Structure 1
Amino acid sequence: MMFSKNSCPFCTKAKEALKSVGASFEVMEIENRSDMAAIQDYLKTLTGARSVPRVFINGKFYGGGDETSAGAKNGDLAKKIAQ
C-alpha cells in the first residue's frame, strides 16, 4: 500500500521502484481528498513523518521514495515483499 500525491516526484519514484520488482500494490492518492491533512497527520503517528510517499509492505511501514528506490536496487524491497 502506498499513500501518494500525483504531483509528487518522490511518489513517482516509489511507484516505479515497486513496479520494477513486480509488486502488486494499491495507491491512495490523497491530494484531492478533504481529509488529506488528517491522513497525513495519522501517517506521522505511524511513521514519524507526514510527507508522501509512505510505502507499507504487509501492513508494516517500509519507507518513502528514496528508501523504496534504494530497496528496489539492492534487493531488499523484493525480499520484504516475498516474506
Structure 2
Amino acid sequence: MMAEEEKKRVFNFLEQLKQKVETQEHYGGEIKKEEAKMDIRDCPECGAGRAYTKGLTACAYCGFVFMDTKLTDGMHIKKENNS
C-alpha cells in the first residue's frame, strides 16, 4: 500500500510539473519571428566587409574613416581647456 501511495504522489507531482510547463509564458515576452539578416557595412575605399556596429569609425583593413567625431561642450561634460 505504501508503494502505491508513493507512486500516486510522484505521478501527481509530475502532472503538476507538466501543467506548469504547458501554461508557462516565455521569459522576456513573446518570441517574434523575423527573417534572417546580416548587418554589414562595406568599406567604400577597399571593399572589406565589416559587421555593422554603432561606433564603427574606421576600416580595420585600410584605415578609411567612416565618420570623423569631434567633441563639443555638452550639458554636463565640458571639453578640456589646455591653458
Q: Compute the TM-score of the two structures, normalised by the length of structure 1.
A: 0.17
Q: Compute the TM-score of the two structures, normalised by the length of structure 2.
A: 0.17
The structure in which a higher percent of residues are strand is: 1
> Greater Rg, structure 1 or structure 2?
2
The structure in which a higher percent of residues are helix is: 1
Q: Which protein, 1 or 2, shows the higher relative CO under an 8 Å CA cutoff with sep ≥ 6?
A: 1
